[in-house]
Amino acid sequence: MTAASLPPRRRPARAGLWTALRLLVGLALLAALAYFMWTPGDWPTRLFAWVLLTILADECAGWFGYMGLALGALAFFAPSAPPEQWTLIVPLVGGALFALLLLKHSGGPFVLPFAAVIFAGALYATGRFGLKIDPALTLPANAGFQRSAVVPMLLGVGFSFVRQLIGNAMRFAARRRERAAAAPVVVVDPVVPASAPGAQIPEVVAAPAGETMPVAPAAAVPAPQETAGPVLARSEAVLDLSKPEPGKPELGTAERDTADLNTEAGTPVPTRPGQ
């Protein structure tokens, strides 16, 4: 058996376009986040935009997510003074967001629920037990703070979950098509059946194009025929002239040859008596 050679695998032309599109979207999300951090605004709006745009930028590339996380500190360098709560929001929400990104990068779509639980659990635990550590730490227990941090996180994680599921399904379908296309084409050589001992296989002669060359069949071996009885060299009616009849003289050689010829021809030839 011989397998047909396969053509070299080619990378789809749209892969480069898709990569360029992801880079463009990631840069646009980072630019929007920088705008929210630089312009004046209240802290709930900044917090909502920081969490949501960082998770969405992380979908374009991992380093986009970490850059968005670092842009949260851009508010401290803005022309307008940041809200006083921002000094507490950046380390608290930034730590939970960093843990979410690390867990998100460690696996597929099924680790995202655990990342969401870690993010929300850290904020709710701080709001519940923060007052016991510091009575002035009232912001984590604020419902507006929790809503402004958890809702954008759920939106970003939900989008990432759906995107990864669709991407995995598309890659699985593409791999199945590639395996089907890369299946080797097997060419089976013609098998010549084993012939019986003594049989002759006709010789195949290749004729030129456009001509028909007859092929002589194999010579048949005649089967032995059975005889019905003993085979006689001569008919029983032919007399054996080598022995003389009783009462007659023995013939000479010349007479005996003449008698044989007369017997075969069927015409008796008279002989002279007494010779």
Nearest to 47 by CA among 13, 6, 80, 92: 92
Report the distance separating Cα 203 and Cα 198, nearest Å: 15
Asked if 71 contacts 34 with a C-beta cutoff of 8 angstroms, the reply is yes
φ, ψ of residue 186 to 5 degrees: the values are: -95, 125
Query: Tokens 């880079």 — which residue?
Result: 23
Q: How many C-beta atoms lie closer than 10 Å to residue 211's C-beta?
A: 6
Going by C-beta distance under 8 Å and a sequence separation of 6 or more, which residues neighbour residue 52? 152, 153, 155, 156
Token output for 145? 């703070």
Neighbouring CB atoms inside 10 A of 48's CB total: 18
CB 85 within 8 A of CB 74: no
Three-state secondary structure string covering the chain: CEECCCCCCCCCCHHHHHHHHHHHHHHHHHHHHHHHHHCCCCHHHHHHHHHHHHHHHHHHCHHHHHHHHHHHHHHHHCCCCCCCCHHHHHHHHHHHHHHHHHHHHCCCHHHHHHHHHHHHHHHHHHHHHHHHHCCCCCCCCCHHHHHHHHHHHHHHHHHHHHHHHHHHHHHHHHHHHHHHHCCCCEECCCCCCCCCCCCCCCCCCCCCCCCCCCCCCCCCCCCCCCCCCCCCCCCCCCCCCCCCCCCCCCCCHHHHHHHHHHHHHCCCCCCCCCC
Domain positions in the chain are 17-181
Tens-of-pLDDT digits for all 275 residues of the chain?
444 444 445 555 677 888 899 999 999 999 999 999 999 889 999 999 999 999 999 999 889 999 999 999 999 998 888 888 899 999 999 999 999 999 999 888 899 999 999 999 999 999 888 888 888 888 888 999 999 999 999 999 999 999 999 988 988 888 888 888 886 655 555 555 555 555 555 554 555 555 555 555 555 555 555 554 444 444 444 444 445 555 555 545 555 555 555 554 454 545 554 44
